[in-house]
Every structure is written in structure tokens, then in C-alpha cells.
Amino acid sequence: NLPIAVTGVSSGIGAATASMLNDRGIKLVGIDRTVPESFAGTFIQADLSTPAGARAAAAQVAEAAPGGLQGLANIAGVPGTAPWRTVLGVNVFGVRELTRALAPVLAEGASVVNLASSVAFHWRGLADACARFALAQDTEEALDAVAGDAHATGESYLFSKQCVCFLTEHLSAELLPRRIRVNAVSPGPVQTPILEDFKNDHGRDKVEGAAKLLGRFGEPEDVARVVAYLLSDAAPWINGADIRVDGGLTAYRSSAAI
Ligand code: NAI
């Protein structure tokens, strides 16, 4: 029974995932920049907005899990109301650097889950730009290179989540020889503190209109349940996938657009 590392445990979907895994008897190592009100496991306070921060967090996780990890859930994320460098730093490079730094600690057969977003489905045409950005060796250079790019800076959140979808497939291929699965979960609007930022970023009417259409906003547990499933042995043949958990929002919008 090796532990699972979960980022973003101090709020919303990360907190719900940690609590669900704890109820199933799984040991946890939690990571967040904010100290949680309550957390059952080893908590590590870390800032995932820079590669150095992510690597320092990974070193502490490795120390807290000397026997290795059975899973990693990259849930921490920031909305598009934050400065674009922070959005791309946490949502893209935070995920990449933490996963790569923890790869040697992940046991064979382990599972990694990344939080993307249903908004990424609107941006499939940016695959090449995302690939260049998300795989750049020098992250500072990559950030400087997209400074004039309207997609990456003006729509940093959407761009970052498209990059997460790309990185998920890429890391899945990278870790396949070690039988480590890497999947993404793409939620629609979920009732967490970040939702208020989404209303300010994407438009209040649009976000509230989605809840009207679907009957309600998602609850953190709607997403946590799928993350926990992908982390478990119940999903051994799901690898490199992106599972939409959005109440049908994306399907409705794309079919309405036909
Ligand atoms: P939240 O705001 O409730 O939680 C995010 C957590 O990430 C917080 O505890 C925060 O302290 C942590 N975090 C932020 N920056 C960090 C950093 N630099 N270092 C370490 N920790 C940091 O948000 P929520 O809703 O739980 O979001 C979880 C994930 O789900 C995010 O990646 C978000 O983009 C994604 N998502 C959320 C949706 C929603 O409607 N709530 C919809 C689609 C995706």
C-alpha cells in the first residue's frame, strides 16, 4: 500500500480527492502553497510555479515516501485572472517538472492523473504551439518566446490546459516502458473557489448559463471520483486518455455549433 501524492490539496477538487482516497485507506502526501485546514497524511508546503519549486517539492515527497509512490495527482492550478507567466508556470511546467522529478519514485504500474479542463476542447488547433511550448527545455526562454503570442498570454488558462492535454499524451508515451499510466481529467465548471475567477475571466453570464443548461455546477466530488478511479487498479487499460467530466457541456456546445 504505497502512498499517492496529490497537489492542490488545500482547496476544491484536490481536497475532495485527498479525502476520498483517505476514506479508501490510501496513504497520502499532499502538496500545496497554502496550508490546508485539515489533511490526513504528510503535508508539504511548496510553490509549484517554478521548476525549482516543483523539484524541491519532489525531493520532499521522495523523502516522505521512501518505499515509492503508487500514484500522483497533479491537481493544483491557477485561473486566467493570475498573471500569464504564473498560469503557464503552474499549470504547464509545474505538472511537467513535478511528474518528471517524481518519475523515478513512481512504482512500476503507478498512475498519474493531470487536471486539464473542458475549455481545452475548444483549442485543438493549437497542438503545434503547445507541443513547442510544453516540451521546451528552458522554461524561462519558452515563457519569453510566447510573450507576444495572443493565445498564450491573452488566453493563458485555455492555452495552459491545452498544453496539459498534450503533455498527458507525451508523458504517457515517455513512461509507458515502465508501465506507468498517465491520464487527464477535463472538468466543466465546478463549484470551488476558482469558479469566481472563471466568471471574471470568461464572463459571468457564460459560466452561470452553463449551470442553468446543466441543471447545476459540478461538485468537487464529481471530479474526484473519476480521478480516484484513474488512480486505481480498476482502470489498468486506460492510458494517455483525457476524460471529460462536464455534465455534457462540451458535447452540447459542439453539437449546437454544427
Ligand atoms: P481551487 O482554487 O479550489 O484549488 C487550487 C489549489 O491549487 C489551491 O489549493 C491552491 O493553493 C493550489 N495552488 C495554486 N497555485 C499553486 C502553486 N503555485 N503551488 C502549489 N499549489 C498551488 O481550484 P479547483 O477548482 O480545485 O481546481 C483544481 C484543478 O482543476 C485546477 O487545475 C483547475 O484549473 C482545474 N479545473 C477546475 C475547474 C473548476 O471549475 N473548478 C474546471 C476545470 C478545471
50-71 burial, b at 16+ Cβ within 10 Å, e below that, comes to bbebbebbbeebbebbeeebbb
pLDDT of residue 121: 79
- Residue tagged 498560469 (cell numbers): 87
Catalytic residue among 43, 157, 159, 198: 157
Q: pLDDT tens across 165-209, in order?
A: 999 999 999 999 999 999 999 999 999 999 999 999 888 999 999
Distance CA 182, CA 211 (A): 30
Alpha carbon of 39 to those of 11, 66, 90, 204: distances in Å? Answer: 11, 20, 22, 32
Q: What is the ipTM of this complex?
A: 0.99
**Ligand 1 lined by 48 (C-beta under 6 Å):** yes
pLDDT band at 114 (very low <50, low <70, confident <90, very high): very high
Residues of the domain holding 127? 4-257
User: How many structural domains compose the chain?
Assistant: 1
pLDDT band at 254 (very low <50, low <70, confident <90, very high): confident
Residue located nearest, by CA, to atom 39 of ligand 1: 190
Q: pLDDT at residue 124 above 90?
A: no
| One-letter amino acid of 118 | S
The CATH code of the domain that includes 145 is: 3.40.50.720
pLDDT of residue 257: 58
Alpha carbon of 152 to those of 52, 88, 183, 185, 202: distances in Å? Answer: 22, 8, 23, 21, 15
Give the lowest-confidence range in 35-44, 122-131, 236-245: 122-131
Within 8 A by CB and 6+ apart from 160, the residues are 77, 87, 88, 91, 92
**Ligand 1 lined by 192 (C-beta under 6 Å):** yes
Distance CA 224, CA 88 (A): 23
What's the whole-number mean pLDDT along residues 206-232?
Answer: 97
Task: State the pairing for strand pair 69-74/106-115.
Answer: parallel
Annotation marks residue 157 as catalytic: yes
Q: How much distance in Å is there from the Cα of 193 to the middle of ligand 1?
A: 8
Q: pLDDT tens across 53-90, in order?
A: 999 999 999 999 999 999 999 999 999 999 999 999 99
